[in-house]
Amino acid sequence: MPNLFLIPFINVLKIHDAVMRDWLSGLGDTSVKEHLEYPFRLERFFPENARLALIKGNKVHDEILSLFNIIDPQAVFLDISTDLYELENKYNKRLISPHEFWQEYYENISKDISGPARTLYKIYLNEIIGKNARLIESQERLPLNMIFYGPNMTSIDELIPVYEEAFNMVEEFTLQTARAVNEIMNLRERPERLWHSSLNATRVGISYEETEKFYNELLSRLERLLKYKARDYFVKILGEKARVYVESYEKFLDHKIKEDEIKFSNISEGLKILKLQSELSEIVILCEPMDYNAILGFLKNNTDPVFSDFSMREINLIMLLEKMKPFLQKNRILQSNYEIALNILGREKPKRFTGHFAVLVPK
């Protein structure tokens, strides 16, 4: 019986892709052409917080590789659009190497970049891929199969504005909440390093926040104030902002449910294919951190007979999640601010938003 593992995954190449796009967006053609004369070690020109995100992203990548070396999977599921089935087939037929796989993947998703910027982008990503090609392989061998299970590009494009609205709203709501708390009792902690990429630009929003201490203090003080001293004050100051945030976040969750259903269906179809291959013993599903609990719940509770032929196994994720923390903080804030906003409005959480899919930070 093949063993099935689920691992939250932050693709270090996607972090490089997002940082590079952000940097290129601030350059004119003249500056880009100057860099084309000396296209290497471009990281030194990136903003400090973006460079730090790259460093920490590499550490997450190393931890994921260590888990892969332990598991040594024969098949790997990737949250990549099923529209790229030709790339999936090329890899599975061994027509391309892992390096060529990622080159072609980024060739596909970077078609929106044009002119000299595209040339510089391709030079940079090719160098990074060369350093980090081991994203779909164990130390000793390549997996026999690669399965893409992400939604098609049309569905992704429809979801992006909804995600972006929620991500933008949470920043405003957090800022207003912090100001309101600070009016009553001064916050000692301050937000540290922050870096975000646009989901519109990359189809994969990346955020890096060293704000855990600040946010923990904010939550602790706000909880006490709402419970004992100043509830009426916060209802008056933040009531309308809480209402807008709740609407935005619930719209985000409704769309996430639809996206999760697509992913669940594609994972089921992929497992049906793998079921026919008796030589498989270890299979890994790599997922976005915000999808981890939803997919885990789906795998554990599914009654489809195909799942009886796979054994769900756990692997120690403590070190991985610790290194991922700054990349998970935005999701934590999204989730926690929803609870805060409901509290301020005096509302109960709708039942449809109490399932596994609504937990955005892996437990």
Give 5-38 pLDDT, tens digit per residue. Answer: 999 999 999 999 999 998 998 888 889 999 998 8
pLDDT band at 198 (very low <50, low <70, confident <90, very high): low
Res. 55: pLDDT tops 70: yes
Do 181 and 138 belong to one domain?
A: no
Do 298 and 349 lie in one domain? The reply is: no
- Backbone φ and ψ of 4, nearest 5°: -120, 125
Q: Please report whether residue 277 resides in a domain.
A: no
Task: Tell whether 113 and 171 lie within a shared domain.
Answer: no
Residue at 274 is within a domain: no
Cα angle at 330 between 65 and 17, to 5 degrees? 50
Q: Confidence class of residue 254 from pLDDT cuts 50, 70 and 90?
A: very high
| Same domain assignment for residues 227 and 333 | yes
Please say if the pLDDT value at position 202 is more than 60: no
Name every residue whose Cβ is closer than 8 Å to that of residue 228 and which is 6 or more positions away in sequence: none
Could you count the other beta carbons within 10 Å of the beta carbon of residue 125? 20
Distance between CA atoms of 258 and 68, rounded to whole angstroms? 30
| Tens of pLDDT, residues 297-323 | 999 988 888 888 899 999 999 999 999
Is residue 90 domain-shared with residue 139, that is, in the same domain?
yes
Q: How far apart are the first and last CA of the chain?
A: 26
User: What pLDDT is attached to residue 56?
Assistant: 95
Q: Above 60 in pLDDT, residue 44?
A: yes
To the nearest 10 degrees (0 to 180), the angle between helices 48-71 and 12-25 is 160
Q: Is residue 75 within a helix (H) or strand (E), and if so which, with residue range?
A: strand 75-81
Greater confidence (96 vs 228) lies with: 96
Average pLDDT for 29-49: 89
Residues 210, 293 within the same domain: no
Enclosing H/E stretch for 123: helix 115-131
Task: Say if residue 196 is in the same domain as residue 335.
Answer: yes
**What's the pLDDT band for 120 if we cut at 50, 70, 90?**
very high
- pLDDT at residue 156 above 90? no
Task: Give the residue from 77, 69, 65 showing the smallest Cα distance to 145.
Answer: 77
Q: Is residue 269 part of a domain?
A: no
Whether residue 275 is contained in a domain is answered as: no
Q: Give the bridge partners for 76, in sequence order.
A: 146, 284
Mean pLDDT score, 165-170: 86
The pLDDT of 251-262, averaged and rounded, is 92
Same domain as 39, residue 103: yes
Identify the band that residue 212 occupies on the pLDDT scale cut at 50, 70 and 90.
very high
For residue 329, being part of any structural domain is answered with yes
Q: Residue 320, SS3?
A: helix
Those residues with Cβ within 8 angstroms of residue 109's Cβ, 6 or more apart along the chain or in another chain: 17, 202, 203
- Whether 266 is covered by a domain: the verdict is no
Contacts of residues 91-99 at CB distance under 8 Å and 24 or more positions apart, as own/partner, are 91/136, 91/146, 92/144, 92/145, 92/146, 97/133, 98/133, 98/134, 98/135, 98/136, 98/137, 98/142, 99/129, 99/130, 99/133
In a domain, 40, yes or no: yes
State pTM to two decimals: 0.92
Domain limits at 176?
158-256+324-358
Residues 135 and 25 in one domain: yes
265 falls within a domain: no
Q: Is the domain of 16 the same as that of 98?
A: yes
Under DSSP, is residue 81 helix (H, G, I), strand (E, B) or coil? strand
Same domain for 312 and 334?
Answer: no
Q: What are phi and psi of 362, to 5 degrees?
A: -55, 140
Same domain, 134 and 167: no
| Cβ(312)–Cβ(300) below 8 Å | yes
Q: Residue range 106-131: average pLDDT?
A: 90
Q: State how many domains the chain has.
A: 2
